[in-house]
Chains A and B, each alone.
Chain A
């Protein structure tokens, strides 16, 4: 049976003044109902571009899909006629963003914006029904006194409440897949905890799949069942949550995990780092894109890009030397 959502060998490029720059190179993953998949990586790794491509929201005309496919229940979203595509994107697949203030209309009341969502997905509902459904949604996402909130404007709400409203709007169509792009990054840690708990509860109740995009491995560990680690537009490693944290094989994944300051560390000790910086998109190495920062790099890493090897069905890694790394991995990792 076809996966709920599958991204297959997706490549995306952006037109610049000089030429077409590749920002996403043959990225593949899939997700089933009830699952939470994490897309993790640092600025510029392509995690947000992946989400925008799935939603058909790549900036026009600069962004374009260079190859690959996006399949929803086996149907290509790139080949579908416009009408059917609109029935899926924004409806069966919904998205929430880091900064709700940019996604909400600042001069419209919350109630009106929710009503608009219903008008798009289920035209012809009576205004009473719309109000009842809106109240139900606000309650579902844990907004206190939803009755009065319907008449408020976005600026009257706190950051956490705005994120709840955005989640409510995304839920209006009862999507099968929710793409959450750094939805808690701008929030304080105690509010982040509230929103993560809300997403977990909603998923348990509705069975929707969640693609959670973040740079925070702590949030990944907490929420996700599977993880795709991205670096400079490519998948570096893909695994179930436990193997990824206990047995990371890509040198980048390992470097990332080692760089995080941890609460149990002794204060004022030297942190492990990844030397150097991410290459610019106009200056990408031709082989493995991590080659200039990798402690394991050797000659062949500069040639052809390493393929995504399957270690098990679920654990894949794009590194020529993962077998050696695994073999001499005597180093204890936090388990």
Chain B
């Protein structure tokens, strides 16, 4: 693995996370939820990778495993070329400043009993940064930067609307000038007019701070809007990666095609060529053999049920995990 200045900011290799399922009187492990299986990608400074897929596809688990909120079952994560599993205590402390996360509902991650000022001061206190006066000044700067007035510092999280709370969550995430922010469904619960405000704010901050973003969401139009590249996940695995525009204009994997065709388009005159998938996503406890999508794929052939497709190069900057993607019309 290359190190130093020319390495990508983040390299994820074969990341896997299985959760044990316990049952019976003695709570023995009776199976595993295959939440994430063998996920790999690179991310450069200032770049956004979007992770999309439906409930249970593992996109959020990827984010949390990267941050070591979960211990990975297998695989390695390199930040600036260094393996985060072998980092020293001091290096880990720096890592926690460099990587931040924003959740869907900031209310759940903001201490309801603390004022916003105290919440935003906390990262500086934890890392022993600045004097009281300097910290207060930084809090004011942060509030201004995310579009809240200075008076917000003396109020409590419940006094704010959903969009304003997400601004507070963003202010806290950027407090220590991170290099990478994981946005886990960060705009999914917001109304459209507020969602666009928050997306614009994230894009501005990314430009100013050269932030790398991992943008996790189920809304493909939103993900496409903020991402340079997109990885589509299904049942714990990446089935396709490509540039954001490319994946929308010429999706390769049959699941990506179905996902894109299922998005309702806000235009009553749009010509639709909808692929309605039959059935539900199978259980991740006992995922299908071979290609995991074969139970819902209208192009599936006999060997898709047995032979697992690997993620292989498909053109310049794209990969796809399907045996027959070249033959699909």
Query: Which residues in A have some Cβ–Cβ distance to B below 8 Å?
Result: 42-43, 144, 158-161, 188-194, 196-197, 215-222, 241-242, 245-246, 255-257, 259-275, 277-278, 334-335
Contacts and interface: CB of A to CB of B under 8 A. Distances in A.
Nearest to A259: B196
Contact of A262 (B55, B161, B200, B221): B221
Contacts of B274: 193
Interface in B93-128: none
Interface in B189-211: 191-197, 199-200, 203
B191 A42 contact: yes
Contacts of B197: 273, 275
A260 B266 contact: yes
A221 B276 contact: no
Contacts of A221: 264-268, 270
Nearest to B161: A277
A267 B244 contact: yes
Chain B, interface size category, equals 35 or more
B297 interface: no
A-B interface, 8 closest residue pairs, ranked by CB to CB distance from nearest: A218-B264, A42-B191, A188-B54, A274-B193, A261-B225, A271-B196, A259-B196, A193-B262
B19 interface: no
Given A42-B192, A268-B203, A262 B266 contact: yes
B227 interface: yes
Contacts of A192: 262, 264
Nearest to B56: A188
B226 interface: yes
B225 A188 contact: no
B164 A242 contact: no
A263 to B, nearest CB: 5
B228 interface: yes
Nearest to A269: B225
Interface string B249-274: 00000000011111111111110101
Contact of A271 (B191, B200, B267): B200
B314 interface: no
B280 interface: yes
**Highest count of chain A CB atoms <10 Å: which of B48, B164, B224, B248:** B224
B260 A263 contact: yes
Nearest to B258: A190
Given A188-B55, A260-B221, A261-B196, A267 B264 contact: no
A270 B200 contact: yes
A218 B263 contact: yes
B280 A158 contact: yes
B54 A189 contact: yes
